[in-house]
Structures are given as structure tokens and as C-alpha cells.
Structure 1
Amino acid sequence: MDNLNLNVQYIKGVGPKRAYRLRRLNVETVRDLIYFIPRDYDDRSLFKNLGSAVNGEKISLEVEICGNSSLNRIKKNLSILKIPVKDNSGFGNLTFFNQDYLREKFKIGEKYIVNGKVNKTHFEIQITNPIYEKEGESKKTGKIIPIYNLTSGLTNNEMLKIIHNVLEEYLTSIDESLPSYLIKKYKLMGIQESIKNIHFPESKNNINLARRRLAYEELLALQLGLTTIKNKAYNSTNGIKFPSRDEVYDFLDNLPFKLTKAQLKVTNEIIEDMENDRQMNRLVQGDVGSGKTVVGVVAMYKAVLSGYQAAMMAPTEILASQHFDSISKFLSPYGISCELLVGSISKKRKDEILEDLESGKIDIIVGTHALIQDNVEFQRLGLVITDEQHRFGVKQRVSLSEKGSNPDIIVMTATPIPRTLALILYGDLDISVIDELPPGRKEIETFAAGIDMKERIYKFVEKQLQEGRQAYVVCPLIEESESLTISAAEKLYRELKEDVYRKFNVGILHGKMTSKEKDEIMEDFKANRINILVSTTVIEVGVNVPNANIMVIFNAERFGLAQLHQLRGRVGRGEYQSYCILINESFNPISMERMRIMQQSTDGFVISEKDLELRGPGEFFGTRQHGLPELRVANLFTDINILKAAQKDAKLILERDPDLADPEHIGLRKRVLELFKEPSN
């Protein structure tokens, strides 16, 4: 058995309970733990003496206890314990708050290594709440300590011990994946040395060297995997050459509204692609409400006019249903047959749809992942559209396109990706941008407020409700557990329904509801039978309720900017002035900066760039956000130069060795397969 795939439970110091907690951090195997990279480091290697200590600086010191402790009780909940210490340069005090139990701990004459923040006044030097250990122990002081992401019931010290144990036993099981010529080219650390130094670095320079090596390896594997998938999917440049049809322009003229310049430009790019004999692979980026759907409808109309079928895949049933309604409204008057295929329909109805799809009776099918099931067959699939691409893996996009013979492909997303990254990550796609909102859309006024403003916010919402409008209230996002998030939503729902808004109808929507329940709630909200909808982030995409003009987001600091922007896009879809109120409960500078950006900008591209800058890769370019493998080390924003080098190297490697079959590339092949493995759930 491969040591690295061993269940984390069997590592010394883990056991079933800790294994359960580690699973919350997506750590299930030895490999997961080895690649569980620290989020930060606490440098305790800087030693000074009391005489040279600078106010506010965090330092390590070698001190001797030189007096008895004194305890001063300031008030009921505050006590200050002082321990007199000295070194060869002077005297000071170790100061502890509310830690009376330490009073008997320190004995005169004992020597300690301490690390803490210096608080220097005219009268004394204090080292506040220091980390301490007796001279000679050197486990927590005098070195750089990694800081890990944690979960309830797991401390950093416990993680340190677990990581130490796993490296002691399994570090030698990690084989070098990079060929020697690349290690030599970039003067890279070896893999085992990199892993050791990313967890237990000897110096700051070693952290940088280890990180650089691991980020390059990860990005090279990413580029090799993406390029291989793209090459397999689009190995033929021959596509369908759709004939030129004037009816398409008649269709545009008959629309009940005029397309914006940006929509027209993208529509013409798509028409040009379809009339070319090369397979179309186009990414259409457009901010929330920019009108991507109608551009897709024009392409579908053209495909059906030419005797082909079209398919649109959306990530949720709510979004698929909404697309189906829009597409049917536009195309049914032209005698075009549209159907909806989602998991919640009856087996009998599903079988009928599958039969009609295969026989060609259905021209356009809209659906969820149900479209890529093996039993879904088309008579003549000519156009594939995936909406909200960031919710699908690259493989899912390929699976749908394989239902036809090189059909044209449009990928749509309302999550703007900075152009440089889009070119790298979707290198096989031509990129179109709808960078203009339809006329008459009022800018959404965004405000950030603390929880102390809750009562005022509730009154503001009530005023809007009295004027006939509707409101979304998005509950906190609790990362540890979806059930905790739902529990928070239900608690908020009860508070609003039973106390704050008793005169109004309050509804709730969350991910554990059945599709039928969700649809019923959304129908009631659209029809204004529900005035306030309390929701988790299931409303992030796809809901269109023009009368809803206000959104309140609790614990906005727990959401990324791109996600806040997506949520905000649910309002401002009608004629009324719309508002988004972000309730921020954190005083963290990054959190405050996020709120400032949201108040200042409604440009999705600016926001996505800032999101990457402030958050790093994490969720933003993880499996859940862009259909890409989760990156553990690399940051697609700050490591853009490493990414470019990796892309260049991947291209050269695959030109020479397309299957990564050469002995020197076997390690890389293994790394690519690890990175792109299907999630177990």
C-alpha cells in the first residue's frame, strides 16, 4: 500500500477523534497532512537583551527570575501578574493578564527563554503575555514556528506535534517529481528538503526557497493537467460550419429591447465563430446583469435554424429553471422546442425527454449535471453552453461537449477573472467580455456597518417593505459545517419572523431543502407572497426578482469579495433604487479594506482583482470556485511569474512527451494525476 495514502488516523498522536477534526480541514491522508502548508509563521528566532529592546517589538530573550511575583487585581475580571527578571543588560518584568495560576510557577534563580512583545515605559520594561520555557528545552522559542489553519478542538501546538510525527515517519516516502533538468534550470530545492523547510524552516530565506519550489511544482502540474485535458478535448480543429442566416438579424431586430454595444460585439464574435469551420471555444465574461443569457439565446437560435440541437448546463436547478423560462420566452414563438432536464423531475417524464432528445424532437435542452449522464443522447448536438463555469470542473465541460461531434462551445461566467489569469487558465478559449450594463440599471448603493447598527438597518428595511419592495437577508457563512450555517439561518429566520417583522411574510431558503421546496419558496418570493427571504448563499446565482431592492448580508467579513459582489447582483434588477448593506463584525484591517472596496466599486473585474490580492488563492481559485484543483501552496495572483514560467515549461514538455511517458517525467505524471484526482465525495 502507498504510505502516502494511509489514513491520517494511524499517524502517531492522531487517533479517531483528531482524525475527525482533521477531516474538517480536508486532511484525510498522510499526503494531505504533509501538504497541509502553514498559513503563516511566528519568527521567534530574533534574540535581544533587555537593554536593546525596542517598544512594540516582538523578541526572544534569555532571562533569569530575580524576584518574587506580584499580583495586582485591577477589577473583578482583570488581574495583572508581574514576574521580575534580569539579564546582563538590565531588569524587566514578565507581565501576564488574568493568569493568577502562574504565581507559584517561577522560582528565583531559574533561567528561561521567553518570547513576547516589548512594552517599554519610563519606569520599566515589560514583556507582555510571553511564551516561555526553561533554558535548554527550546521547543517553542528561539526558532521560526509555523502557524496552521485550525478547527474547533485542535490547537497549533497539537498540529505541530502531528506534523512533526508525520514528517519523521513519512518524509522519505515522498519521491522527487520534478526532472533534474528543471531543478537545475531554476536552482530549486529538492522535494524532501522543501517539505521539511516549509513546515520547520531554519531561516526566512529557507521558507522562501521551499515555497518557490513547491509553488512551481504545483503550477507546473496544474498547467500540464489543464493542457492535456484541453488537447484531448479539442484535438480536432474541424468544427461545424453553420451557414450564414439573415433570420438571426431579424431575430435581433424583433427583441423587445435593444442590445448594448458590448452585447452586439460579443454576439457578432459568436456568429463569426459559428460560421467558421473551426470549432468555437469561447469564454463570455459579463458582470451580474450584463445580459449574457440573451447572447446565448441568439447562438442557440442560429444553431437550431441550421438543423442542430443546443444544450445549456447550469449549476443549480433554480438557475437552470430560470434559463429555461427565459429561453422558452424568446424562442417558443419561433416554433422551437425547449425542455428542462433536472434531477427532480419524475422518471417517467425524464424518459420521455431522453427519447425526444435522441429522436431530435427537442431542439434545446436546459439542465444541470443531469445533462452529462451516460443515458443522455442527442440526435445532432451542435452547440454547448455552460453557465457559471466556475461551478463546473474542466472535465464536466468536456463531458457535455463529447455528446456531439465537435460542437461549438460557449462558456459563460459572471465571476470576472482578471484578463491575464483568464488567458492562462482558459488558454484554449477565445475571450469575450460584456463590459457594459443595459441602460436604466441604477447603481446599487452599498453600505458597510457594524452589528451595533442592526436596529437602524432593520428600520431602514421596514421602510422599503412598507413601500412595497422586498428584501433578501443573507445569513452568516459558517465554514466548518453546512448544517451550522443552516442552523444560523433558521435562528435568524425565527428572530425576523417572530419578532422584528411580524407584520410581514418571512421565508427561508437553504441548501438542504429539496429542489421542489426551493422552487416553491422562490415562486412565492417572485410573486411577492414572501416579503423577506432569509437565505444562505444558495441565492448567489440565478434568482431574478426585480421587485427585491435591498440585501442585508450578516457577517460580511466571512465572504470573499467576488462572492459579496455576486450576492449584491441579486438586487438592482428592477426600476427601483437598490441597496446592499454589509454587516461587518470584524475590525481586522483586511476585512475593513474589503468593505471599503465593496462600497467604492461595482465593477466586477476590479473587485475580482482585489479579491485575489487580499485573499490569495484559497477559495477564489479552488475546486469550488473555478473548476480547478485546489492549490495548497501557489497563489495565482502573487505567483503570476511562476505561473507564466510553468505554462511555458508545460508546453515544451508536452510537445516533446505528450503522455509524460519518459522516465524523467514519470514523477510529474504522478503529480498531475494526484492534483486532478476526482474528489472522493
Structure 2
Amino acid sequence: MPPRLTTNLEIDKLHSIADKLERDLKKIGIKTIADLLWYFPWRYDDLSQIKKISELEENEISTIKVKVKNMRSYRSFRKKMMITEMLAGDETDDIKAIWFRQKFVSQIIKPGDEIYLSGKPQKKNLVWQLTSPVYEKVKNIQDEQIHSARLVPMYHLSGKITQKQLRFLMSKAIKDTPEIEDPLPVEILNKEKYPWLDEAIKEIHFPSDENKLKLATKRLKFQELFYLQCKYRLAKQDYQAQKSYKISPHKETLNQTVNKLPFQLTMDQQSSLADILADLQKDHPMNRLVEGDVGSGKTVVAMLAALATISADFQTALMAPTEILANQHFVSAKKIIPKKYHSQIVLFTRAQILSGDDTKLSKKEINAQIKNGKIKFIIGTHSLIQEKVNYKNLAMAIIDEQHRFGVGQRQGLKNKNLEDKVPHLLSMTATPIPRTLSLTLYGDLDISLIKEKPAGRKAVKTFL
């Protein structure tokens, strides 16, 4: 007795065809029956409208239901190519179908069979003809038609796999595997009127109609976003369960620095800074994204946050995507942060090593002073967590224009701290993202928005 099919079985156990095509199936990521079920079509051919032969129009994809009258296979005189011809008809007319190098068609279809044919018809010598049409025997139950007379799924293929083979395997997997446990709560399914997962899987591969296809697609997209939200929420809980530095900033230093700025902070900048300072005073790590357009003033907020950290005798690392941007941040830091802290600021990239007070230091000396905590504000690229740079008490990491700074990078920051604590994480982006999408893409982050631009800020101009 063959083993009962389960979705975690290797794909070769599904059918002999799957066993034969196992190597090509693995090339498209199908290793198990579950992988097959989650390999969705990239488009659909609408072959659901059944026409009479008399209603056909040339070169328009059509589906007809006919009865086979005659079949024959022969080799062409010149190329010795195997040709299979079929004559079929309905109550309105006859049609000829022809296949090249497909002798097996005559072994599958016999005179007297009722079949569906789909393709682009042409009229030759007053006779309708289909060249290499899709064919399928008429079945008693309409839902069992998988190659014609319906919305037909089309998949990305690899190697010797054909659309018919993949559809056959998909149909068998849907029929022969047990019900898949639905991960979504019943309350959500009822509220949104979503189909159960089994039904959604069936409809995404073999849709009954366009409305059911749309509903299945919507439900599966929702499930993917639901998984992402759960993943990010768990990542956030795990990250915030770790210990971080509780930072009490010198309010007098911060207020004096803000008052000396050549411009007044906008309400959005003040609100974002307040969010960050509140997070820094907690003993679990901040993970905040500051989102604002180019010129909205994200950098000054980041520099004031860095000042709050270094004035409390902790270290901050600012990582930019390029050395040019890192150099710009270094210049901004010297302009915003009070001069008494300049000796504690360093630009540390592969191309440049610059001290905030212009002291000449070697790479070895910089590394030593970062490790003993003398240097408090280190500005560079992402190599700051990849190279041999170790910190005494890295309390905050600022990431500029890094859309995802993952769990691995966060752990890397912790591993570079001599003290077994996780730094607070502040990310910045100029990419305009709607709030609802932000919550999806950055579900593990708290978000501060800077919409209002500083007074007198010139418009950004882009040149090619």
C-alpha cells in the first residue's frame, strides 16, 4: 500500500512524472509537495468561453468542444518528421488539427472521443485548422478540466517540464493531500469573508471564476503580510528583551546647542528628537526609524541624539552607505556638536581617517581609543561593524539610508561591545513611504515622521 501523501513529502513521492522531473522541479524551488502547492501561476489564459466551429475567427484564441472523427500519424516525405492529424467536428462544421513530433497524441485521443481544443484557428482552403492546439478530453465534472474550458493557469517552467505536466502534478497534489491547517484565526476569516486556506490554494491554481480568483489572491496576500507582521513583532520583542544602556542626556548641553543653531527646529524635528530621547532613557534598546524627505532635517536630529549619548559618556557609531556621505556627516557633526567634544569625534573609513580636532592619528591609535572609550563618536560606513573595530560602551548606532538593518547586524553590534549590552538603534530614510506600508515593511521599528521642512530651506533640484 503506497504511503499516504503529506505536504512535507519529497516531490518525487507524488507521482512517477514528478520523480522523472525531480531535478528540473528543484531548479524552480520545488522540493516538497508543499513547495509545489505554493508555486503560484504567473498568469492565466481565459479558455472558458466555449464556441461553435462556425463562430470561430481567424487568429483569435478560442476553445471549441468537438467529437473526433479520424486520427492518423505519418512521416513527412522530406524531413521525415512525425506528423499527427485529426479531423473533428461539431453540429456546425468540421475542423482539422495538426501536431508535429507528437505521435503520442494519437495514442491518447481516439475516434469517437469528445475533446476540447484551444488555439488560434486559421482557414486554409475553406477548412478550419488548428496547429499544435491544447487538447483535453471532456470530463464528466467540469472542475476536473485543468488544461482547457476554464481559466487555465500558466507557470514559469524549467528544463523539460511542460505546462501540462505541472498542471497535472498540481491537480494531483490538491486532490490527494490532506487538508492544510489554516494559520489565520477564524475571526479574521469571518470578518474579511476570506476563503479557507485549502479553498484559496485550489482557486489560485484552478479558479472557478475571476471573482473567486481575486478573493483567493487577496486572502493569500493578506496571509503573507500577516506572517511578516508576526515575524517583525517577534523580532522586536526578542530585541527589546535584551539589556541596553539607560542614557540620561545633559539637558543643559542639548538646550544650549539647539539655541545656537542658525535655524529653529520644526515641530516635527522637535517631536522626533523627543521620541528618541525618551527611548534612550529606557533600559531596553530603541529601534526607531526617522522618515523624512531630503532637506527635512533628519541629520540635525541624528546629531543631537548623538550629542545626548556622548555627553553622557557613551559611544555612538554613525554608518552611512558611502564614504562621501560619511564625510558629509563628519562635517555636519563638527558644525552642530560643541567644540569641546570635537576631540572625541572621528571619521573612520577605508579611504580617510580624520579627527574632529585635526589631531593626526594612525588607524591603530584610532582602534585603541575606540576600544578604551576615549573616542565617543565614530562616523564611517557599514565596515564599522565588519572590520576589527571594538567598542567600550557603544550605546547607539545610527544607520543612514539602510532600509533593512537585520538581526544579524544587530547581533554584530552587540558582539563588538566590551560590555554585554545591545546599542540603541536609530535608522534614517528619505524614501517616502505611506504610514500603513511603513508599518508593514518596518513592523519591528517605531517610526517618527518629519514632514515639515525648516523655514527658508531651498527646494531640492536634481540634475542629470
Separation in 2, partners of 1:35, 1:138? 21
Q: 1:283: which partner in 2?
A: 289
Measure how far apart 1:61 and its partner are: 1.0
Return closer, same or farther for 1:266/1:304 CA change in 2, 3 Å cut-off. farther
Show the 5 A alignment for 1:193-272: 193-234=199-240, 240-244=247-251, 245-249=254-258, 252-253=261-262, 267-272=269-274
Return closer, same or farther for 1:274/1:63 CA change in 2, 3 Å cut-off. closer
TM-score, normalization by structure 2: 0.66
Return closer, same or farther for 1:242/1:270 CA change in 2, 3 Å cut-off. farther
Return closer, same or farther for 1:28/1:325 CA change in 2, 3 Å cut-off. farther
Separation in 2, partners of 1:112, 1:326? 71
Show the 5 A alignment for 1:186-585: 186=192, 188-234=194-240, 240-244=247-251, 245-249=254-258, 252-253=261-262, 267-276=269-278, 281-286=287-292, 292-293=298-299, 295-313=301-319, 319-331=321-333, 334-338=342-346, 340=348, 356-365=369-378, 366-368=380-382, 371=385, 378-393=391-406, 396=409, 400=413, 408-426=424-442, 428-433=445-450, 439=458, 441-443=460-462, 572=463, 578=464
Q: 1:50: which partner in 2?
A: 53
Separation in 1, partners of 2:300, 2:188? 47
Separation in 1, partners of 2:9, 2:363? 42
Structure 2 counterpart SS, 1:172? coil
Give per-residue Cα distances to partners, 1:531-571, cap 9 Å, x unaligned. xxxxxxxxxxxxxxxxxxxxxxxxxxxxxxxxxxxxxxxxx
Separation in 2, partners of 1:115, 1:368? 56
Separation in 2, partners of 1:354, 1:413? 29
Measure how far apart 1:114 and its partner are: 0.8
Structure 2 unaligned regions, length at least 5: 73-83, 354-361
Letter in 1 for 2:155: Y
Structure 2 counterpart SS, 1:389? coil
Letter in 2 for 1:416: P
Letter in 1 for 2:220: L
Separation in 2, partners of 1:16, 1:341? 54
Indicate if the aligned counterparts of 1:8 and 1:27 stay in contact, CA closer than 8 A.
yes
Separation in 1, partners of 2:296, 2:181? 49
Letter in 2 for 1:198: I
Give per-residue Cα distances to partners, 1:476-535, cap 9 Å, x unaligned. xxxxxxxxxxxxxxxxxxxxxxxxxxxxxxxxxxxxxxxxxxxxxxxxxxxxxxxxxxxx
Indicate which of 132, 135, 150 corresponds to 1:132.
Answer: 135
Separation in 1, partners of 2:440, 2:255? 36
Indicate if the aligned counterparts of 1:240 and 1:274 stay in contact, CA closer than 8 A.
no
Structure 1 unaligned regions, length at least 5: 70-80, 254-258, 444-571, 573-577, 579-681
Indicate if the aligned counterparts of 2:287 and 2:424 stay in contact, CA closer than 8 A.
yes
Measure how far apart 1:310 and its partner are: 1.1
Return closer, same or farther for 1:18/1:325 CA change in 2, 3 Å cut-off. farther
Indicate if the aligned counterparts of 1:194 and 1:210 stay in contact, CA closer than 8 A.
yes
Letter in 1 for 2:250: P
Letter in 1 for 2:258: Y
Letter in 2 for 1:386: I
Structure 2 counterpart SS, 1:335? helix
Letter in 2 for 1:393: G
Indicate if the aligned counterparts of 2:189 and 2:195 stay in contact, CA closer than 8 A.
yes
Structure 2 counterpart SS, 1:390? coil
TM-score, normalization by structure 1: 0.48
Letter in 2 for 1:336: Q
Structure 2 residue 130 is matched with structure 1 residue 114: no
Letter in 1 for 2:394: L
Return closer, same or farther for 1:377/1:175 CA change in 2, 3 Å cut-off. farther
The Cα RMSD (Å) is: 5.1
Separation in 1, partners of 2:27, 2:431? 27
Separation in 2, partners of 1:18, 1:200? 23
Measure how far apart 1:360 and its partner are: 0.9
Percent of aligned positions that are identical: 28
Separation in 2, partners of 1:370, 1:6? 45
Q: 1:477: which partner in 2?
A: none
Return closer, same or farther for 1:406/1:10 CA change in 2, 3 Å cut-off. same
Separation in 1, partners of 2:37, 2:193? 23
Separation in 2, partners of 1:391, 1:329? 26
Indicate if the aligned counterparts of 2:114 and 2:138 stay in contact, CA closer than 8 A.
yes
* Number of matched pairs: 410
Letter in 1 for 2:133: P
Measure how far apart 1:219 and its partner are: 2.9
Letter in 1 for 2:63: S
Give per-residue Cα distances to partners, 1:335-393, cap 9 Å, x unaligned. 23325478xx9xxx9997665434212322344276289x9764333432223332433
Measure how far apart 1:88 and its partner are: 1.4
Measure how far apart 1:265 and its partner are: 5.6
Return closer, same or farther for 1:148/1:291 CA change in 2, 3 Å cut-off. farther
Return closer, same or farther for 1:197/1:108 CA change in 2, 3 Å cut-off. closer
Return closer, same or farther for 1:290/1:3 CA change in 2, 3 Å cut-off. farther
Indicate if the aligned counterparts of 2:269 and 2:450 stay in contact, CA closer than 8 A.
no
Separation in 1, partners of 2:246, 2:230? 25
Measure how far apart 1:49 and its partner are: 1.9
Indicate if the aligned counterparts of 1:284 and 1:434 stay in contact, CA closer than 8 A.
no
Return closer, same or farther for 1:323/1:283 CA change in 2, 3 Å cut-off. same
Give per-residue Cα distances to partners, 1:585-614, cap 9 Å, x unaligned. xxxxxxxxxxxxxxxxxxxxxxxxxxxxxx
Separation in 1, partners of 2:363, 2:6? 45
Structure 2 residue 154 is matched with structure 1 residue 147: yes
Return closer, same or farther for 1:155/1:64 CA change in 2, 3 Å cut-off. closer
Measure how far apart 1:249 and its partner are: 3.4
Separation in 1, partners of 2:8, 2:90? 50
Separation in 2, partners of 1:162, 1:219? 28
Structure that is richer in helix per residue: 1
Structure 2 residue 178 is matched with structure 1 residue 159: no
Separation in 2, partners of 1:36, 1:205? 21
Q: 2:66: which partner in 1?
A: 63
Return closer, same or farther for 1:33/1:291 CA change in 2, 3 Å cut-off. farther
Give per-residue Cα distances to partners, 1:159-188, cap 9 Å, x unaligned. 33443455566x328434345555555555
Letter in 2 for 1:89: T
Structure 1 counterpart SS, 2:39? coil
Higher Cα radius of gyration:
2
Structure 1 counterpart SS, 2:65? strand
Give per-residue Cα distances to partners, 1:407-453, cap 9 Å, x unaligned. 5542222433223211454465233246879747534xxxxxxxxxx
Measure how far apart 1:62 and its partner are: 1.3
